[in-house]
């Protein structure tokens, strides 16, 4: 069925994400890659700094109270979705797989038809100018003008910058 482990992993991550894809994506978060253990969309709790920080910004009152699947459903209901530049753990990827995923990023974004895009981490950020050249329609807008660092390294800065940009565009859920 699968030609290799790369395709198997991509399907596993895509299937998990698809369960929480909103019908209309108001804000697409584009990050680097799935973490070494767990995944943003896997229902089991894991040490996922990105999940924790995103949910803490979007749903600060619910973050410690709700279980991961409930938070993911709220994320979906509010029109948020997350994809990664690299569709499997970066440590497992071959250079040609990384190039393939990077080169296909615009097509994946375009298929999702988000209104707003937020690039998270350097891997996504360095794609900004190429993505802006490819986005010919006004309905997709990359809204961050500054790098939003990965929360594993800069949690406070991540939360501040993500919160500020979502607030600026009226994308923060009502508390």
Average pLDDT of span 127-133? 80
| Residue 105's pLDDT band (cuts 50, 70, 90) | confident
Q: What is the pLDDT of residues 152-175, one digit of tens each?
A: 889 999 999 999 999 999 999 976
Map tokens 């923060």 to a residue: 172
Q: How do strand 80-84 and strand 116-119 relate by DSSP bridges?
A: unpaired
pLDDT given at position 24: 96
Where is pLDDT greater, at 125 or 103? 125
Band of pLDDT at residue 150, cut at 50, 70 and 90: very high
Q: In Å, what is the CA distance from 125 to each residue of 35, 62, 73, 78, 102?
A: 18, 29, 27, 24, 12
pLDDT band, very low/low/confident/very high, at 36 (cuts 50, 70, 90): confident
pTM tops 0.75 = yes
- pLDDT per position as a tens digit, 47-100: 789 999 999 999 998 888 889 999 999 999 999 999 988 777 777 767 777 777
Would the pLDDT of 1 be above 90? no
Alpha-carbon distance 108 to 99, whole Å? 14
* Residue-range domains of the chain with CATH: 5-168 (3.40.470.10)
In this prediction, residue 146 has a pLDDT band, given cuts at 50, 70 and 90, of: very high
Say which residues have a Cβ less than 8 Å from residue 135's Cβ, sequence separation at least 6: 106, 109, 110, 142
SS3 call for 112:
helix
Tell which wins on pLDDT, 18 or 3. 18
The number of C-alpha atoms within 13 Å of 22 and in the hemisphere containing its C-beta is: 21
The pair of structure tokens assigned to 46 is 């894991």
Q: How far is residue 99's CA from residue 118's CA, in Å, rounded to a whole number?
A: 21
Cβ atoms of 77 and 130 within 8 Å: the answer is no
């Amino acid at each position: 069925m699968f030609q290799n482990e790369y395709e198997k992993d991509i399907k596993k991550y895509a299937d998990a994400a698809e369960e929480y894809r909103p019908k209309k994506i108001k804000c697409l978060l584009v990050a680097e890659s799935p973490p070494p253990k767990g995944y943003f969309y896997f229902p089991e709790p894991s040490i996922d700094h990105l999940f924790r920080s995103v949910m803490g910004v979007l749903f600060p009152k619910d973050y410690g109270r709700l279980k991961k699947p409930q938070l993911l459903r709220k994320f979906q209901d509010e029109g948020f979705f997350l994809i990664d530049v690299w569709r499997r753990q970066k440590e497992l990827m071959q250079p040609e797989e990384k190039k393939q995923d990077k080169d296909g990023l615009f097509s994946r974004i375009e298929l999702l038809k988000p209104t707003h895009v937020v690039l998270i981490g350097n891997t996504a950020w360095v794609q900004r100018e190429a993505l802006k050249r490819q986005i010919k329609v006004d309905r997709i807008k990359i809204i961050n003008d500054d790098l939003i660092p990965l929360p594993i390294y800069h949690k406070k800065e991540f939360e501040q910058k993500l919160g500020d940009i979502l607030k600026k565009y009226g994308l923060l859920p009502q508390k």
